[in-house]
Amino acid sequence: MSDPIQIFKPWFEAAEHEALRAPLETGWVGYGEKARTFEKRFAQYIGVKHAIALHSCTAALHLAMVASGVEGRQVLTTPMTFVASNHAILMAGGHPVFCDIEEDTLNIDPADVERRITPETRVLLAVHYGGHACDMDALLDIAARHDLLLIEDAAQACGGSHRGHKLGSLGHIGCFSFESKKNLSTGDGGMLVTDDDAVAERVRRLRWMGISSDTWSRFNNGHHGPAWDYQVEELGYKYCMNDIAAAVGLVQLDKLDRSNAMRRRLVGRYHRAFAEVEGVEPLALKDYGESACYCMVIRIDERDALGDHLLARNIQSAVHFRPNHLYPVYAPYRPARLPITESVWERILTLPLYPQMSEAEQDRVIDGVRSFVEERRVRFAASQSAAGG
């Protein structure tokens, strides 16, 4: 059997291995100089004033919700996302209000967003599915007219843009994931970005137990008084990124644009290959955005059968995602029906995509999809012939 083709694969090279040397040799492996440098450079890359390094995007989303005051209030959100997006709302005491999605992008539908706004709505959460921008023109307009805070969940969209502006920089707060499979990977990690000075100051406290000054600053930045002396101003969390992850992140950031360009080339190749394959529908790439191309998703009937067909050829696939409102934990917030979400999710399948994927590997995936479609066509023709006979 041919070698397995993974659905995702991080791109680590010699530079990432070498980057680990400094924090390991200095012995400072917690939040420190590397993380501070990573924050500064990431803020410059995204085009914002503040970037705050955290141990996950879940932490970023949670702190974004806390800092936005969602407790007891409603957050307009999408069901088509990893559960961390909506868990963060519940963790902060908010009430998720699920909106339907666009069938061609799987992003939140601005028209349905507007229909679901109430006096209790506080935040609009825009999740950039698969790395492709939501319709930010419409969402920003809705947020402005209804006095809502707009938070961007850019977990899958690092390096993507909307009309030339980096995703994560358009809303009040942006949240990023550096988890093992993401475009910029530190193994695990996340970042919260904002232009709001007050939000940044509070989030920096909250990520380190509510303590007024982080350990690195107290020991290395001319802290007034003994290094052990600090105040605890409010209840916080242990959400800091460490310097081991940040050292890898700095290398990954240097090659992010190159890595995303490789992803886009592969996605373009998938689109061209499937253009003439009946019944295979890649997600749309709208001209208002440049996608980070985190994943390659198609819509196809008999989705599960295709997954089995590919697995028999040692090719991984997956479904991203089961709509969150269908999980038992969200039963109290389940809307009567989300017709597009509930129909399209049963037809979506994620195919392998990673920067270092070879054309030969991609051709195996393409041939696997084509052979499934052809076998299905032959079976259908045979059944029609038998019925006619």
3-state SS of 95-106 is EEEECCECCCCC
The token pair at 98 is 């699920």
Q: Distances from the Cα of 353 to the Cαs of 83, 218, 245, 291, 359, in angstroms?
A: 22, 43, 23, 14, 11
The token pair at 60 is 């970023």
Active-site annotation holder among 40, 166, 181, 182: 182
More confident residue, 193 or 226: 193
Rg of the chain (C-alpha set) = 22
Residues forming CATH 3.90.1150.10 domain(s) in the chain: 257-388
How much of the chain, in percent, has pLDDT values that exceed 90? 90
Tokens 């209840």, located at residue: 235
Tell me the mean pLDDT in the region 238-263. Answer: 98
- Chain centroid to Cα 11, Å, comes to 17
Beta bridge partners of 166: 161
Backbone angles phi, psi at 108, to 5 degrees: -60, 140
**Catalytic residue list contains 182:** yes
Cis bond before residue 321 (omega within 30° of 0)? yes
pLDDT tens readout for residues 272-317: 999 999 999 999 999 999 999 999 999 999 999 999 999 999 999 9
Q: From CA 256, how far away is CA 340, in angstroms rounded?
A: 33
The pLDDT-based confidence of 36 (bands split at 50, 70, 90) is very high
pLDDT tens readout for residues 197-234: 999 999 999 999 999 888 767 778 655 667 778 999 89
Q: Which residue from 174, 110, 121 is spatially nearest to 146, judged by alpha carbons?
A: 121
The pLDDT-based confidence of 385 (bands split at 50, 70, 90) is confident
Lowest-confidence segment of 22-26, 49-53, 225-229, 245-249 by average pLDDT? 225-229
Q: Distances from the Cα of 30 to the Cαs of 205, 207, 367, in angstroms?
A: 16, 13, 47
Residues forming CATH 3.40.640.10 domain(s) in the chain: 14-256
Predicted TM-score (pTM) of the model is: 0.96
Architecture of the domain made up of 257-388: Alpha-Beta Complex (3.90)
Q: From CA 108, how far away is CA 124, in angstroms rounded?
A: 10
State the average pLDDT for the chain. Answer: 96
More confident residue, 86 or 381: 86
- What pLDDT sits at residue 155? 98
**Fold held by 14-256:** Aspartate Aminotransferase; domain 2 (3.40.640)
